[in-house]
Structure 1
Amino acid sequence: MLQRLDDTDAALIDRLQESAFNYFLKHTNPDNGLVADTSIEGVPCSIAAVGFALSSYTVGVERGWMTRTGAIERTLTTLRFFAGSHQGRERHASGYRGFYYHFLHMDTGHRAWNSELSTIDTTLLVAGMLTASAYFDRADGDEQEIRDLVKVIYERIDWHWALNKGETICMGWKPASGFLHWRWQGYDEAVLLYTLALASPTHPIPQSSYDAFTSSYSWMLFGEQAYLYAGPLFIHFFSHAWIDFRGIQDRPMAARDWDYFRNTQISIAVQRDYAVRNPGHFVGYNKDVWGLSASDGPPPSRHMRGGRHPKVLGYAARGAPLGPDDGTIAPWAALASLPYDRQAALDGTKALLETYPDLTYEGRFPGGFNPTVKTRRPEGWVDDRCVGIDQGLLVMTIENDRSDFIWSLMRQSPVIRLGLERAGFTGGWLEQGEEADRKTA
């Protein structure tokens, strides 16, 4: 059983979680279910944000923030759009080969900007769809249609094509230039991607592709503990939002008597240790104010506190302990750590809100802030937007800490179970069987 939060902490977490959830009520097109990438007016849809929204709607029902009927309506609108949108090379297409473009116009759903056909963002989108399929399990027509549409969308994704005759999956593809040069290899958020690709009943990748992915892992030491390195915190959170990695191991983890859940716990400790050491001498860093991840950053400025003149990075995947780092903190990161290190998450969230009481927008954390930049406010530079995927991650990870809800749903997903087994995962809930898991969840 999870240890209950005390009433004061529970009220704080509930307020922050509901505020994050409300992002999707405010920034979704009700006609097609598309979710804005950020809170800035006029931005396109991020398909990853749609995936987080679909998962968050199930939490909203459980928490009483949305009726089941309302969630079904939103989910069906979204799924009908993606199932029926045009797949092709043309400019007005939404996707190709079952994958979808990273950004879509909020009104038409056509490809926005010159965005790539994104394998990882399609993965996050479909993970949200699989969450909906697992949750809406009743026999009535609408819930059956949700499951049928998810099946159609998932099974038409050509994961094998995305290998582009290589061992690992390519990050993306564009109609004019073909596949991007980069592939998903080395530890990153693509564990979920490989799980879905391995489980496909129509276009699966071979198990050797997962072996190739893990063969380029990089390990580091924190004290005497070896851990799997990835600098930005989001990498340690994204796949975990859906997959319960507690006590299950693939072959690289089994060889070291380790698992991805404990690895995320260590990565949080690494970030806190880095903030205490503060090698860049940035303003605000301490054991409770920390969090380096992928985020936007300040524009170039000569006005810095403490005599600092760091090179600001704009949008960058900041990380610890190897950087890059320019003093920009992702304020949602501490709260997203709740299932892995509850005390660190609570201390970090409270410290942020007490030190920087004007940091949030409508109760939601912005994408980033940099107190080393000299402004009239103690927060320094603050991103003028909230980011959809950040808000969805918070809804899901908070709920996993509070009730095990998303993890419990996805432990019952045949796709997640099969993909993990084909990747070579064993132990824990994977060996309990689906019926046993339902009884203990």
Structure 2
Amino acid sequence: MKPIYIFLLLIVLSGCSTQQKNKLSTKGRLTDDQLLTLVQKQTYKYFYEGAEPISGLSRERYHSDNVYPQNDKDIIATGASGFGIMGTIVAIERKFITREQGYKHLKKGLDFLAKADRFHGAWPHWMLPSGKAKAFGKNDDAGDLVETSFLAQALVCVRQYYANGNAEEKALASKADELWKGIDWNFYRKNNENVLYWHWSPNSGWKMNFAITGYNECLITYIMAACSPTYGVPADVYHKGWAKNGAINTNISLYGHPVKLKHNVVGESVGPLFWSHYSYLGLNPKGLKDKYADYWEENKNHTLINYDYAIANPKGYKGYGKNSWGLTASYSVKGYAAHMPNEDFGVISPTAALSSYPYAPVESMQMIRHLYENLGDKVWGEFGFYDAYSETANWFPKRYIGIDQGPIVVMIENGRTGLIWNLFMSAPEIQQGLKKLDFQSPKI
């Protein structure tokens, strides 16, 4: 073939290739709503198709490849199970599963919880398929009040969701009500101190000696404790324990965003982004205020600090910017770490930005598109986006952690429709408890 014909043929083929590429790109690009729905649907599979089969609850973690051997697929995580329960309500409403499938899945989980080990009403951090507690660490082998509170907010949501359902659904609502009212929050004051303690064990008692004080992810623990109609704690426990008689407050600014709550970290900084997620899957921060903070502003500023930090990128990590941001606790190139601005190893955790969707929808959407359209299979698998990655280290592990996947489904939905916020805030006990603590909210 003469050179001129080869040249012309290459031009034609190149044009066809470009046209085909553009055609596929146009055809394949999802709208924001379509992409959000896809992310929610794929992520929810972790809690349905990927659930621990005997309990129907959330696995602690799941590895999709053989690079990181996993021998603990049977470990059930209490907090992540709570997030998955709220995710199931989202899945029913979004028609990812049928109402009957959702009911059966939730009933299986609640039946398991009713028979599982409890310690003065609190579940352990980890459980086995037998329902027995599995030690999370030395002396941490029984009641975990914080993980229990993550689950308790979900039980309230289940009760509210099925309150006007058919006979079977009302029975499930009653079971959820009984389970959450059985948590003895007052016991975890350790002899009526004005503070809650994280752990108690029949084997080692209060040896962990971990008083829960703010500010971190545990606001919901105090909210649930104050709201309980059976074992409710006095308001002083919140003000003197959690808020440390007002010492919870600070007055700093990072990247131009004010911070009024003193995060429990070293120096004047903010903690991992999950601190703005876990307590607020049910508790609606919109318009939520007390004498310590405006919680919507605090969470929004926490989010934007992360966003602006990634753009500033003071450590010069590869890939950081407006399309790749968000530091939180996750897998890390250094094992497992609570990533935050003053503990940054070049690791981005998708859950950080995705679960911040209500606070910064534009910035979160930028991140979602970058992950899905640009990084693609490097970060996307059978249960949605993998837990963490580092472009600096060229590190893209195919691993999931339940407590990181759960907030993605729920918080995106809260940002879109307010579904879970509306259910939780509609509970009379929640409204009364918030008033007892002198909170203000348009929902109470």
- Establish whether TM, by shorter chain, passes 0.5: yes
Aligned to 2:4: none
Structure 1 spans left out of the alignment, 5+ residues: 1-5, 86-93, 254-258, 299-311, 374-379, 431-441
Note the C-alpha offset of 1:355: 3.9
User: Which amino acid counterpart does residue 171 of structure 1 have in structure 2?
Assistant: W
Deviating beyond 4 angstroms after TM superposition, the runs of 4 or more aligned structure 1 residues are none
Note the C-alpha offset of 1:62: 0.8
Aligned to 2:205: 178
User: Which amino acid counterpart does residue 285 of structure 2 have in structure 1?
Assistant: F
Note the C-alpha offset of 1:243: 1.1
Q: Find out whether 1:342 has 2:374 as its counterpart.
A: no
Change (3 A) 1:200 1:224: closer
Q: Secondary structure at the match of 1:381?
A: coil
Aligned to 1:315: 336
Q: Find out whether 1:167 has 2:167 as its counterpart.
A: no
How many pairs are equivalent? 389
For the aligned residue pairs, the C-alpha RMSD in angstroms reads 1.9
Superposition pairs for residues 357-368 of structure 1, below 5 Å?
Answer: 357=376, 358-362=378-382, 364-368=384-388
Note the C-alpha offset of 1:139: 5.2
Aligned to 1:221: 253
In percent, how many aligned pairs have the same letter? 28
Contact 1:241 1:393 in 2 (8 A): yes
Note the C-alpha offset of 1:281: 2.1
Distance in 2 (CA, whole Å) between partners of 1:151 and 1:12 is 35
Question: TM-score, structure 2 length as denominator?
Answer: 0.83
Aligned to 1:142: 168
Aligned to 1:90: none
Note the C-alpha offset of 1:279: 2.0
Note the C-alpha offset of 1:415: 2.7
Q: Secondary structure at the match of 1:170?
A: coil
User: Which amino acid counterpart does residue 435 of structure 2 have in structure 1?
Assistant: E
Aligned to 2:19: none
1:304-332 deviation line (CA, Å, top 9, x unaligned):
xxxxxxxx4x2121112xx2111111122
Note the C-alpha offset of 1:390: 2.0
Superposition pairs for residues 87-102 of structure 1, below 5 Å?
Answer: 94-102=117-125
1:105-134 deviation line (CA, Å, top 9, x unaligned):
1x2121123453211111111111111111
Q: Find out whether 1:262 has 2:314 as its counterpart.
A: no
Q: Find out whether 1:50 has 2:81 as its counterpart.
A: yes
Contact 1:30 1:74 in 2 (8 A): no
- Which of 189, 197, 200 aligns to 2:228? It is 200
Note the C-alpha offset of 1:271: 0.7
Question: TM-score, structure 1 length as denominator?
Answer: 0.84
Distance in 2 (CA, whole Å) between partners of 1:31 and 1:45 is 10
- Which of 313, 329, 349 aligns to 1:330? It is 349
Greater displacement, 413-422 / 12-21: 413-422
Distance in 2 (CA, whole Å) between partners of 1:225 and 1:36 is 37
Note the C-alpha offset of 1:181: 2.3
Note the C-alpha offset of 1:196: 0.8
Change (3 A) 1:175 1:138: same
Contact 2:155 2:177 in 1 (8 A): no
Distance in 1 (CA, whole Å) between partners of 2:98 and 2:84 is 15
Distance in 2 (CA, whole Å) between partners of 1:139 and 1:316 is 43
- Which of 101, 121, 127 aligns to 1:70? It is 101
Change (3 A) 1:408 1:7: farther
- Which of 249, 253, 275 aligns to 1:235? It is 275
Note the C-alpha offset of 1:38: 1.3
Distance in 2 (CA, whole Å) between partners of 1:12 and 1:71 is 23
Contact 1:331 1:365 in 2 (8 A): yes
Contact 2:115 2:131 in 1 (8 A): no
Q: Find out whether 1:104 has 2:91 as its counterpart.
A: no
Larger-gyration structure (1/2): 2
Aligned to 2:24: none
- Which of 54, 57, 75 aligns to 1:34? It is 57
Note the C-alpha offset of 1:397: 0.8
